[in-house]
Amino acid sequence: MPVTMEDFTAARRAMVLNQLRPQGVTNLGVLSAMGTVAREAYMPEGMRAAAYADRSLIMEGGAPMMPPAELGILLNALDPKAGEKALVVGQGGAYSTAILEALGLTVVRSEADAPSGREAFDIILVEGSVAKLPDWVASHLAAGGRVGAAILDNGVARLSVGRGDRGAVGFKSLADAQVPPLPAFQARPQFTF
């Protein structure tokens, strides 16, 4: 039996009540946007039934899609405000982009490369776990801007939010997470004895 729009609406409501709120997501704008934007619309037809499952998904082409709770935790900590500029990095960032746009932000997407130009962003959201952020991330962050990512630490992804200061970013860990890796930002294997 196919999933109906009413089923998706109920699943979205359940996601807010049973996944986001229990994880400490309290930002009313984030809760409203995530309760309104249709996550299933950003997924291939065959995966839509799993749109609101509390797990990571791998989209076509290997693009990671963060679980709703992890995305909510990062957005809550980033505290996005209408009128700010945001950069969403990662192949699976269409849903995150839609959430930020629903919050009134101007959003640019990039799969893994630095956006052209010297534009500075108030928020940079990395959609996928990373071993190390490339240097261009800090250089595109506005003074006092915020970065949200799942940073790999000894193989464990930790949701982290950082603030930019003079071309560097200092991170604070929020929670362990199940976020698939963003292939372009993984450490290269090195030969050691």
**pLDDT score of 186:** 61
pTM above 0.75, yes or no: yes
Annotation: CATH topology of 5-185: Rossmann fold (3.40.50)
Domain boundaries along the sequence of the chain: 5-185
110-126 pLDDT, tens digit per residue, is 877 777 777 889 999 99
Average pLDDT over residues 2-6: 72
Q: Which two three-digit tokens encode residue 62?
A: 């290997």
pLDDT reading at 4 higher than 80: no
Q: SS3 letters for the chain?
A: CCCCHHHHHHHHHHHHHHHHHHHCCCCHHHHHHHHHCCHHHHCCHHHHHHCCCCCCEECHHHCEECCHHHHHHHHHHHCCCCCCEEEEECCCCHHHHHHHHHCCCEEEEECCCCCCCCCCEEEEEEEEEECCCCHHHHHCEEEEEEEEEEEEECCEEEEEEEEEECCEEEEEEEEEECCCECHHHCCCCCCCC
